[in-house]
Amino acid sequence: MSRDDEKKTFKHPSYGMVQFNRVHNGTGRCRLFGSSIQDHHGTVRLCIRGGKLEHDLHHDRYYADGRAFIEVELSSAQFVELITTPNQGFGVPCTIRYLNGQIIEDPPEIETEVERIKNNFNETLTHRVATMRERRKAIEELTKSLSAKAKARLKIELDVMIGQLSEHVPFVLRMFNEASDRVVTAAKQEIEAFTAHALRTAGLEALANKLLPPPDIAPPALPAPPATPEGDGG
């Protein structure tokens, strides 16, 4: 039987190849869906392609068959969350880069969670200030005649203003601080992932240098053959 007769290729719609790739972005400008940080120097991509099996010389080998069905990109923090927290809600946000062979455009620029809370805080504060000005007008009218009813109304108006300042504003600030903490945590995870990768790469290079012989060391000289006694050739 010839080698061509021994080689067999098997294909099926259920066959697939899945792969994780680490991607380095030199510019740092990488916008990802669901990430509070928009400057990602290192990301992880998951690629799924069709697969095929080739049996040749009594060995099975697996190859990708055709272009990728889908390719998604995750930040290091998203990748860690995906691996370490299964069965959580609907999963972890990812950014689709390729779908059925078609390139998907970058996600649109939208407000981050921190920016959205800051804007909401400014809008809320502006609204509250306008409300307080209206309350002040009401107080000015009430102070013209300090009857018992006016005094009671004045107390109510002041209580309203104090309640808005002591309850609503601290709540908004607390939401802002919590969002800031999440951003800091995500940034720390990104830095830790980058540092771990750099240390791992450096360690592998150091190990390779130890295993390879130094290039400037010459091989040891072979011992000289023993001298032949005179007269043995006669």
Residues across the chain: 234
Eight-class DSSP state of 34: T
122: pLDDT strictly greater than 70 = yes
Q: What is the pTM of this model?
A: 0.53
Dist CA 104 CA 71 (whole Å): 10
Q: What is the pLDDT of residues 125-172, one digit of tens each?
A: 778 777 877 777 777 777 777 777 777 777 787 778 777 776 777 777
